[in-house]
A = this chain, B = another copy of it.
Amino acid sequence: MNEFELIAKLTHALPANESVVTGAGDDCAVLDLGVADKLILFKTDAVVEGFHFTRETPPEKIGRKALARCLSDIAAMAGTPTAALVTVGLPENFDGEFVAEIYDGMNVLAREQGVAMVGGETTTNPERLLISISMLGTVPRGNQILRSGAKTGDAIFVTGELGGSLAGHHLDFAPRLAEARWLTEHFAVHALLDLSDGLAGDLRHILNASKVGAEILKSAVPVSRAAKIRAKQSSTAKPAFAAALTDGEDFELLFTLDSKDAVKLLDAWKKEFPKVKLSCIGRIVPGDGILIRDKTGAHRLSARGFVHFTQDRLPEQSFNTKITL
């Protein structure tokens, strides 16, 4: 059984009830718990030593990253985070001060974003540190943006720059909460997610959910300076464009909206978020899959983004060894 068969098997006929608006398969579950004007967002996300951080990562940064990843999923639904629980799997002979510093990193970000930290637990995970964050948020009824709404003719946008995660971005990215809320308040966004598995893989999530294809203009993809430097300096690093397409943990927003709104959006964005780049990288087309257009023509992208459950244990190669149901 490969991972895709496993996902299909696990998500087939999950128990549901009348509270479920959107179950497994999007950035967050969406629930109707009877709040007059809001729906509830529910999400969990884990980071594991050796895969999402190393022994050498400063504990505050581990804590910050664990929380920020989950906040990015709330952003991907255009929601507002409310409260979080923390599960820490601790190796034996843990250092209490180290755990306290993990919490410090989380708490600083939680305060910035108005998130209440309402408990959790520590448990034993002898061989490696594991942190799982469970998050509740809200979104105004009707404002939640799924992956399934992209339409032929839509313009495709991405925030920030891509490919810089391994150079350090994965530890200090800012979840795009304010940007996503502003977007959905001012524009009719059709599909939205946060880039966690790499542009190629995550764009496919939108395409598959929306039953459409995409054409990406190679020169329009905002490749991060860090990825370019890495590609030049290291013989084993991916070419920078490949890193921008396939490296995980960019945690930028990827979204589509009607191409007639594209110019208006770019103008308004520049005024609202002058420090955050916004790039129109292509358009939604009929069919399926991804075409990359460069000077030589349009090329079908066969790469999958990221191969999960890699046996390769090098941290840099094995980010994002997880599947989301």
The answer for the CA separation of A280 and B29 in the assembled complex, in Å, is 42
**When the two chains form their complex, are residues B127 and A126 in contact, meaning their CB atoms are under 8 A apart?**
yes
Checking B14, B29, B40, B118 against A29 with a beta-carbon cut-off of 8 angstroms, the contacting residue is B118
Taken together as a complex, chains A and B put the C-alpha atoms of A126 and B91 apart, in Å, by 13
Contacts of A85 in B (CB 8 A): 29, 42-44, 134
Interface string of A293-313 (1 = CB under 8 A from B): 000000000000000010101
A269 at the interface (CB under 8 A from B): no
B29 close to A119 (CB less than 8 A): yes
Do B44 and A111 have beta carbons less than 8 Å apart?
A: no
Given contacts A29-B83, A48-B124, contact A15 B100 (CB under 8 A): no
* Given contacts A96-B6, A100-B6, A107-B15, A322 and B124 within 8 Å (CB-CB): yes
- Determine whether the beta carbon of B119 is less than 8 Å from that of A15: no
Residues of B within 8 A of A36 (CB): 34, 36
A20-28, A199-207, A213-221: which one contacts chain B? A20-28
Most buried by B among A45, A46, A309: A46
Q: Does A267 contact B (CB under 8 A)?
A: no
A121 near B15: Cβ-Cβ < 8 Å: no
Task: Given the known inter-chain contacts A114-B17, A116-B23, please indicate yes or no for A5 contacting B87, CB distance below 8 A.
Answer: no
Residue in B1, B16, B31, B321 whose CB lies within 8 Å of A136: B31
Check if A35 is an interface residue, CB within 8 A of chain B: yes
Q: How far is the CA of A96 from the CA of B12 in the complex (A)?
A: 14
Contacts A85-B44, A117-B15 given: A10-B128 contact, CB under 8 Å? no
Does A322 lie within 8 Å of B20, measured CB to CB?
Answer: no
- List, in ascending order, chain B residues with CB within 8 A of A16's CB: 116-118
21 contacts between A and B (CB under 8 A): A14-B118, A15-B115, A17-B116, A20-B116, A23-B119, A24-B120, A40-B136, A42-B134, A45-B121, A87-B87, A87-B132, A89-B125, A94-B309, A121-B322, A122-B322, A124-B321, A125-B128, A126-B128, A126-B313, A132-B132, A134-B134
Q: Which residues of A contact B (CB under 8 A)?
A: 1-2, 5-6, 9-11, 14-17, 19-20, 23-25, 29, 31, 33-36, 38, 40, 42-46, 48, 50-51, 82-83, 85-87, 89-90, 92, 94-97, 99-100, 103, 107, 110-111, 114-128, 130, 132, 134, 136, 138, 309, 311, 313, 318, 321-325
